[in-house]
Each structure stands twice: as structure tokens, then as C-alpha cells.
Amino acid sequence: MTAWTTLVSAEDLAAALGREDLIVIDTRTSLTDRAASENAYRQSHIPGARYADLDRDLSDHRKTSGGRHPWPDAADFTATLGRWGVTPQHQVVVYDAADGALAASRLWFLLRVLGHRRVAVLDGGWQRWSALGLPADAGIPAPQATHYQASFDARRLLDAQDVRALLDSGGLLIDARAGERFRGEVEPLDRVAGHVPGASHRAYSANLADGRFKSPQTLASEFAPLLGGREPAQVAAMCGSGVTACHHLLAMAHAGFDGAALYTGSWSGWIEDSQRPIATGEG
């Protein structure tokens, strides 16, 4: 049976509904109205899908540092997986409203860095699924709890000190935010505008064409010059809070460059220390 490890089409997922080894998770997120996303899930979702809340399930707001969406501890995240009925043997498919940036790619990376390989993002998300008229219902599943035991690969989760070391050693830090935020022209979410000195810019939207991910070949041709011969282990992605940056990690894996890291705190974590330098402009 084919394992999906990066992306899966709506057509392929629809054909697989009902498989005993399949678990679907809805991560639709609104940054302006948190309740709206879960309400939308309760009204209609892919049959059998569980719901993952970005703040409750994919972050740890008990932490007082680490950016706007602090990375959860492995014990807490695996407990959440257990409540959803996920085991290491399951094929997991995650989706959000559209392009994977809020917050399907975040959950994809959480699982991948936990060592779970059979996890994929629904390409085009709920938007394409609905446009195709594929099955949906409002039933809320009651999964049988499981025990999921695993730990994160710490090498792929960087803090500010790790980022400085990465850049000092010639590594690459890719900022996934929109260009105007990277350049420091506007900052709608964080108290300071700009970017980490030495970071490079590629907006996560560059991974998409018509709302879906570009082909592996196209993504490889675009990322290769940016990587400049570096191995994925010499590369990290960041954004505003460690969510949309995971879109780059997914796109790179889909293009054959699997193994890059995430700056978990990202820009909102970087500016927690006023002594850290800030750059503006193109970089």
C-alpha cells in the first residue's frame, strides 16, 4: 500500500476514505477569529476527520518564550495524538482551508520531526475538496484512545542561539513571510518589523500555483539555487511564529530536499530579546 509522505490529492484521499489505517485531521485556522474555524469544522468536514486547534493542540502557550506559537513538548503532543487515536502505524492526512499554511504544514512537520513518516498534506485543502463536491459530513468522531510514544529530533528544532550558529557556519535561513514584512515595511502581528540579519527571503506563496503546490520538479529547480549546494541539514526555515515556515519544509521535502530545520520561535521569538540585531531592506 502506497504511503503518502508529503502531499496527497483530493481524488486519491477520497478513494481511500474508510481505510482502517487512515486518520484525517482538520487544522483550519483563523488568526483573527479562533472560534470560527472549529465552528466551521463542526458544521462540515471530511468524513471521520478529527479537529486540531493551532493554539490548543499544536502550540504550548504555557511557555513564556518561544514566539507567538511556542513549540509543544513531545510528551504533550504525543498525548494529543493518543486522544485522536493516532498510532505510529497510521497514515495521517492533514488539511486546512486552502494552501496548507494554516496550519496543515505545521502538523505535518510536528509529526515528521517526531519520526512519523506516513503523514501528508491534502493539496488544495478544504477549498479544493469542496469545489470537487467530495464527501463531507458534520459527525464528530469519538476515536479509541491510543498510546503514542516518541520524541522530537532536536537537531531540526532551532532556537535563536542555534540560528546564529547556523548562519555563522555558512548555513541558510529562509524567511517565509511576505516581502513587505521581511523588508520591515509593515508588521501587522509583531511589535517590531524587520528580519534576522543574514536571513534570505522566499515567501511561502512562491511554493504554490493556482492554490496547489508546484510540481516536485519545479520546486526543486527553484530551491536549488537558493540552497547554493548546501545539504538540507544546513538549512532552516522561519516565519512570524513557526507556522507558515513549515510550508517551506514541506515543499522542500516534496522537491527532494528533506531534512531542513525549523526556527521554532521565528521572528516573534527573535525579538523577545531587545539586544538581538534587526535588519531591514532586501537582505
The confidence score (pLDDT) of residue 34 equals 87
Distance of alpha carbon 37 from alpha carbon 34, whole angstroms: 6
The reported pTM is 0.98
Note if 246 is an active site residue: no
Q: Nearest-CA neighbor of 252 among 209, 202, 180, 195? A: 202
Per-residue model confidence as pLDDT tens digits over 81-113: 999 999 999 999 999 999 999 999 999 999 999
The rounded percent of the chain whose pLDDT value lies above 90 is 98
pLDDT grade for 57, boundaries at 50, 70 and 90 = very high
pLDDT at 121 over 80: yes
Query: Is residue 137 helix, strand or coil?
Result: strand
Q: Is the pLDDT of residue 139 over 80?
A: yes
Question: Which residues are paired to 120 by β-bridges?
Answer: 93
Question: CA 267 to CA 9: how far, in whole Å?
Answer: 32
- What are residue 146's DSSP bridge partners? none
pLDDT (average), residues 64-81: 98
Going along the chain from its start, the domains and CATH numbers come out as 7-131 (3.40.250.10), 154-270 (3.40.250.10)
d(CA 120, CA 25): 10
pLDDT confidence of residue 1: 62
pLDDT, position 2 = 81
Kindly report, residue by residue over 214-269, the tens digit of the pLDDT: 999 999 999 999 999 999 999 999 999 999 999 999 999 999 999 999 999 999 99
Q: What is the pLDDT of residues 30-47, one digit of tens each?
A: 989 989 999 999 999 999
The active-site residue, picked from 239, 243, 249, 271, is: 239
C-alpha cell at 183: 523588508
DSSP 157-215: EE-HHHHHHHHHTT-EEEE-S-HHHHTTS--SSSSS--B-TT-EE--GGGGEETTEEPP
